[in-house]
Amino acid sequence: MEKRQRRQAAKEARQAERAHGARKNRIQRLVVRSALLLIIAGLVGGLGWWIFRPKPGTYVPSQGNTHVVGEAVAFRYASDPPTSGPHSGGIAPWGIHERSIPKALQIHNLEDGGVLVQYNCTDCDDLVRNLKDIVRRYPDKVILAPYAGMKNRIALTAWSYIDAFDQFDEPRILRFIDAHRGIDHHALGGFGN
């Protein structure tokens, strides 16, 4: 009888050990699956943030991309300098300009994926030199030009975006240019972001 009890006890011990091992395996699988789910969720969330992160500047709803003949002087643009709206069929050459660019011409450059860096000051040689240094880094799709009458000393414009400020801020300017430069807006019909 004692042998039978010992066998029974050993059998029960083995069963308990197997049950404990099975429980331990289930917990390990649950922990691994949970960790994988958290990693995947983090990657998806990070990718979503990266894709849909806000662009630098202030969004200005599009006023369309109608082409007109000559300057659209009767049109009231939603921002100054403008970021969308009726514009001429031509574009201003990319690069550095010593004179202001007409609004209707600016907008076509923006529609073609350009960024305009404009300034409003007369005795600001250091500022203009710093802005020129930045614009020279880009072979196309960026323009530097004066723009009289702005409220701020510096304005950055892209299609439906503007960022205006008074003090030179190279990282801010570069972020804006790099985020907006080269995005063609013809396919969007001029509306949307």
pLDDT of residue 189: 46
Q: What's this model's pTM, rounded to 2 decimal places?
A: 0.71
pLDDT of residue 48: 58
d(CA 192, CA 130): 33
Q: 154 — phi, psi (to 5°)?
A: -130, 135
pLDDT of residue 191: 43
Per-residue pLDDT tens, the chain, 193 aa: give them: 677 777 777 777 787 778 777 787 888 887 778 777 777 776 666 555 555 667 889 999 999 888 777 555 578 899 999 999 988 888 999 999 999 999 989 999 999 999 999 999 989 999 999 999 999 999 999 999 999 989 999 999 999 999 999 999 999 999 999 999 998 877 554 444 4
DSSP 67: B
What percent of the chain is helix, strand and coil (3-state, nearest 5)? Answer: 40, 15, 45
